[in-house]
A and B are shown apart, each in its own frame.
Chain A
Amino acid sequence: MRFLHCHKLHVVLTALRRCALILVVLGAVTGCTSLSQQQSNSTSAAVYDPIEPVNRIVFAFNDAVDVVVIRPISIVYADLLPDPVKDSVRSFLRWLKSPIILANELLQGNLDAASATTERFFVKAASLGLVEAADAEQPPYRSEDFGQTLAVYNVGAGPYLVLPFIGPSNLRDLIGTVVDSIIDPLATPVTVLDPQKTAATLSVSRQVLTGVDFRGESLTQIDGLKRESLDYYATVRTIYNQQRVSEILNGEQPTGVSTQTDDQLFQSFEPTEDGVKPAQSGQPAVDN
């Protein structure tokens, strides 16, 4: 789920940062591009998942962490705090993300969105980000990240990945997460100059709080999804993928060939008239 996606594993990121990061990014982007060719035959209903057995194990681990730690904390958080306080927390967390969103909007060449984000940032600054800017004239709040920016430049998603603590991702979005953590003015430069790791602690706290807030807000939805799904792993995988496609397109209808896969599924679907009728099992179909 998205909350897990928000839990950037700081240790991993710091380690990655120490590596020759540019090389990693460039190498992986090339990898993604060659993978996008492979993906074009695939659909978002059938996400490219070459290491599914490993992913399933990590997914089960994350789910256990959710059951034992995150969900209980989220329930307490959601029940304990009054709605206005939670709204302020959410508003503040979004405000802190403004620089990353702005940077990615600029990288995507979306100047209208960038100017809206800038305006919103300064309007909210008056309340230290605690009050959401309510302006009907402005486009609605959208989150942007470097994974979306790469997608805008036609970088394919690459293999689906489930990361420990972070949750659903793919090669492209993992790179995006790393790059975002580097360009985040609130996390990186300070971390480097900060032997006490205060900034790192703050950064992780922020991400955990974002996760707890999201989990608390969508408690019934996620619980319902888990309860009803026959294959929770496959359900989360397709939802993550569909949501990412939607976020990349900023909620618009797909226009590019590479993102029309769901439409193509419906177009190529030919129901044959083979006269099969639903079984009634001796009772009306509405008996439950």
Chain B
Amino acid sequence: MRRALKMLSVRCVVTIVFLGFLSATPTSVAAEAATRQAAMIVQDFSDQVLQLVTVKDISDAEKRVRFQGLLNTYFDVPTIGRFVLGRYWRRASAAEKSRYLGVFAKITAHSFVSRFSEYDGQLPRFISASQIDDRYIIVKTEIFDPNGGSPPFQVNWRVVANKTPMKIMDVVIEGVSLSITQRAEYAGFIQQNGGRVANLNSALEKKLAELK
């Protein structure tokens, strides 16, 4: 019961903060509709992740399954996978691409869920949403600790605006982009290991098995 109440209050806080933020964004009608939609996607995702992180009576494996579902709903995972592979995407065969996208989705979900244990009551606060060009909207949020234990940090979300439904393309935590970081990691690995995507696939699969 206490937990249910806590969850309810968490959801209320997030929603109230969000509504306040949405009503305070003066832009043209169409642009406002787009940025509002992007902000709602980020809000929905944060809200759902918060629920998943704080629920205690399900296993980590079940959390991974549910989080994978959330990722697929809110993130354009295959497009992120292509971006992350950078120039090696074009060099890969169709079979290698397909194998890569499969393991990429799993390992991304895995690395998010393995960080759930670091959660310590922080909440998102929505700062702004703005369309930076014809493709992307950046939604700025701040993660703060209501108990004042840790300093707040900025999390920006890159949302693809010219696609329906809109999906998240990147998360930037205190200036560090997850997609750019993964892209650099994979490029570094491929360069060090024979320049072949097949080797990356094998290493990702091995890593995934190790992390389980």
**What is A's interface to B at a CB cutoff of 8 Å?**
44-47, 140-141, 220-221, 224, 227-231, 233-235, 237-239, 242-243, 245-247, 249, 251, 253, 262-263, 265-267, 269, 271, 274, 276-281, 285-288
Contact of A276 among B86, B98, B118, B211 (CB under 8 A): B98
14 more contacts with CB within 8 A, not counting A277-B98, A278-B102, are A45-B86, A45-B180, A140-B152, A229-B185, A230-B204, A233-B188, A238-B181, A251-B175, A267-B136, A274-B94, A276-B97, A278-B98, A278-B105, A279-B99
Interface string of B89-112 (1 = CB under 8 A from A): 000001001110111111001110
Contact of B118 among A221, A247, A285, A288 (CB under 8 A): A221
* Minimum C-beta distance from B122 to chain A (A): 14
A285 near B187: Cβ-Cβ < 8 Å: no
B211 near A235: Cβ-Cβ < 8 Å: no
Chain A at the B interface: SS class: loop
A262 near B177: Cβ-Cβ < 8 Å: yes
Interface string of B200-212 (1 = CB under 8 A from A): 1001100110011
B186 CB–A CB distance under 8 Å: yes
Closest residue of chain A to B107 (Cβ to Cβ) is A228
B176 CB–A CB distance under 8 Å: yes
Within 8 A of A (CB), among B159-212: 169-170, 174-177, 180-181, 183-189, 192, 200, 203-204, 207-208, 211-212
A265 near B154: Cβ-Cβ < 8 Å: no
A278 near B65: Cβ-Cβ < 8 Å: no
Q: What are 26 A-B residue pairs whose CB atoms fall within 8 Å in the complex?
A: A46-B187, A141-B151, A230-B186, A230-B200, A234-B188, A235-B184, A238-B185, A239-B181, A242-B177, A242-B181, A243-B175, A246-B175, A247-B175, A251-B154, A263-B132, A265-B83, A266-B170, A276-B94, A277-B78, A278-B81, A278-B98, A280-B102, A285-B72, A285-B106, A286-B68, A288-B110
Interface centre among A220, A246, A276, A280 (most CB of B within 10 A): A276
**What is B's interface to A at a CB cutoff of 8 Å?**
61, 64-65, 68-69, 72, 77-79, 81-83, 86, 94, 97-99, 101-106, 109-111, 114-115, 117-118, 132-133, 135-136, 138, 151-152, 154, 158, 169-170, 174-177, 180-181, 183-189, 192, 200, 203-204, 207-208, 211-212
A267 near B133: Cβ-Cβ < 8 Å: yes
B211: chain A residues within 8 A (beta carbon): 227-228
A271 near B82: Cβ-Cβ < 8 Å: yes
A235 near B138: Cβ-Cβ < 8 Å: no
B187: chain A residues within 8 A (beta carbon): 45-46, 234
CA distance in complex: A128, B207 (Å): 48
A274: chain B residues within 8 A (beta carbon): 94, 97
A224 near B115: Cβ-Cβ < 8 Å: yes
* Minimum C-beta distance from B104 to chain A (A): 8
Contact of A278 among B94, B101, B111, B132 (CB under 8 A): B101
A234 near B184: Cβ-Cβ < 8 Å: yes
- Asked, given contacts A228-B114, A271-B79, A288-B208, whether A279 binds B180 with beta carbons under 8 Å apart, the answer is no
B65: chain A residues within 8 A (beta carbon): 286-287
CA distance in complex: A128, B115 (Å): 36
Closest residue of chain A to B153 (Cβ to Cβ) is A251
CA distance in complex: A53, B109 (Å): 32
B185 near A44: Cβ-Cβ < 8 Å: no
A233: chain B residues within 8 A (beta carbon): 188
* Minimum C-beta distance from B118 to chain A (A): 6
CA distance in complex: A246, B65 (Å): 34
B170: chain A residues within 8 A (beta carbon): 266
B192 near A271: Cβ-Cβ < 8 Å: no
Closest residue of chain A to B99 (Cβ to Cβ) is A279
A239: chain B residues within 8 A (beta carbon): 176, 181
- Asked, given contacts A224-B115, A230-B203, A262-B177, whether A288 binds B189 with beta carbons under 8 Å apart, the answer is no
B207 near A267: Cβ-Cβ < 8 Å: no
CA distance in complex: A276, B212 (Å): 27
* Minimum C-beta distance from A27 to chain B (A): 30
B192: chain A residues within 8 A (beta carbon): 231
CA distance in complex: A242, B176 (Å): 5
B180 near A285: Cβ-Cβ < 8 Å: no
A262 near B180: Cβ-Cβ < 8 Å: yes
B188 near A231: Cβ-Cβ < 8 Å: yes
B79: chain A residues within 8 A (beta carbon): 271
B174 near A253: Cβ-Cβ < 8 Å: no
B188: chain A residues within 8 A (beta carbon): 230-231, 233-235, 237
